[in-house]
Amino acid sequence: MTGATLSSPKTGARAFSLAPWLGVAPFFVFAVLFLIAPTFSLLVGAFQTPQGDFTLDNLWRLGQPSIRNSYLLSLEVSAASSLLGGLFGLVLAFAAVRGGLPAWVRPTLMTFSGVASNFAGVPLAFAFVSTLGRMGLVTLLLDRGLGFNLYQHGFNLFTFWGLTITYLYFQIPLMTLVVAPALDGMKKEWGEAAESLGASRLQFWTLIGLPILGPSLIGAMLLLFANAFGAIATAYSLTGPSLNIVPILMFAQIRGDVLHDPNLGFALAFGMFAITGLSNLAYLALRARSERWMR
């Protein structure tokens, strides 16, 4: 593919330069009305006192050790579940798209992933409690069937890793669904061409496959990260009283029965908003680098 473009007649070119803006206009109108404007009240609220005066106090309070630790914990849980979810999701998508399995496997996996990606909150927490909790199905089976007591060996569902394992239930399917279309685009001809030039499978993947897939993979994992970062219902039901993640703190301030400082809640959300912005920038930088391989 060369850089030369076929020239269009003059009127065509001018008509076309307006078209991109018209094409993205619906998105931006929608975004302003339904995403940006409602967020605005949150952003403004983060800088206000309950009486409505301007203050940086809420943001300042974000620096408290308990809130700082909360952000750290949230980052850790999100990172763990998005990296692991990304890895396992990719493996599953790969198996379905290019693993040579029977034809019904892929559509079944995709539809199942669709449902599983949204199976979160109380039902998911309960499902894992009844599987891997102290009185869970698997726990009891292993104990009575094989004499292996998970909990005596140190496993505990109601911890950081237990929460991460639970989060994977919706992270893995999400990754699978988002990445499968990208895997579709990996044309067989490229693999064949590389082989005919003497490349090994490893070389193919490291020099061609991953660089091409790279941006989509990282973008998908960023989606997983944001997804985990904002997830609250599952965490609240599973480890509510014991793990101190940011959405629960926010919940406490905006929605709870005990504390009620919505402005602090908005500040917490603002912090999440900023962190997602930073990770998006990191993603853009990474992608710009990996796209150099394409040129």
Partner 1 sequence: MKQGSTGAWVAMGLGVLYFLLPLIATFEFSLRLRRGEYSFDAYRSALGSGEFQSAFLYSATLAIVTIVIAIVIVVPTAYWIQFKLSWLRGVVEYITLLPLVIPAIVLVFGYIKLFNTESWLPLTGSAFGSDVLLTLGYVGLGLPYMYRSVEAGMRALDVKTLTEAAQIQGAGIGTVLFRVILPNLRGSLLSGAFLTFAIVIGDFTYASLLNRPTFGPYLQRVGAARAYEPAALAIMAFAITWGCMGVIQIVGQGGRASRARS
Partner 2 sequence: MSKSAYALLGTVALGAMMSCAAPAFADDMDALVAAAKKEGQLTIIAVPHDWCGYGAMIDEFKAKYGLTLNELNPDGGSGDEIEAIKANKGNKGPQAPDVIDVGLSFGPSAKAEGLLAPYKVSTWASIPNEAKDADGYWYGDYYGVLALAVNSDIVKKAPTKWADLKDPMYKGAVALSGDPRTSNQATMAVYAAGLATGEADAAKAAKVGLDTFATLNKAGNFVPVTGSAATLAQGTTPMVVLWDYNAMAARDNLKGNPKVDVVVPSDSVIAGVYVQAISAYAPHPNAAKLWMEYLYSDGGQIGWLKGYCHPIRFNDLAAKKLVPAELLAKLPPAENYAKAKFPTLDEQKAAKGVVAAQWDAIVGATVAK
CA dist 154 and 88 (Å) reads 24
Q: Could you tell which of partner 2, partner 1, none binds residue 237, using a CB distance below 5 to 8 A set by kind?
A: partner 2
Residue number, 93 or 249, with CB nearest to partner 2: 249
> What is the size of the binding site for partner 2 (CB under 8 A)?
39
Least distance (Å) between residue 114 CB and partner 1: 3
Phi/psi at 48 (nearest 5 deg)? -120, 155
Q: Is 62 in the site for partner 2 (CB under 8 A)?
A: no
Rule CB under 8 A: which of 21-40 touch partner 1? 23-24, 26-27, 30-31, 33-40
Please, what is the angle between helix 262-291 and helix 37-46, to 10°?
A: 120
Q: How far apart are the first and last CA of the chain?
A: 10
- Interface with partner 2, residue 169, by CB under 8 A: no
Give the footprint of partner 1 on residues 4-23 (CB under 8 A): 5-6, 8, 16, 19-20, 23
Structure letter (DSSP) for residue 9: P
Decide which of partner 2, partner 1, none touches 240; Cβ closer than 5 to 8 Å per partner kind: partner 2
- What backbone torsions phi and psi does residue 54 show, to the nearest 5 degrees? -70, 140
Here the tokens at position 115 are 């449902």
Q: Residue 230 interacts with partner 1 (CB under 8 A)?
A: yes
CA dihedral 130, 133, 138, 143 (to 10 degrees): -140
- Tokens 């473009």 correspond to 5
Q: Per-residue x/- marks for partner 2, 240-269, CB under 8 A?
A: xxxxx---xx-xxxxxxxxxx-x-------
Which residues pair with residue 227 across a beta bridge?
Answer: none
Residues 98-127, interacting with partner 2 (CB under 8 A): 122, 125-126
Q: Report the residue from 13, 14, 41, 56 that binds partner 1 according to the rule CB under 8 A.
A: 41
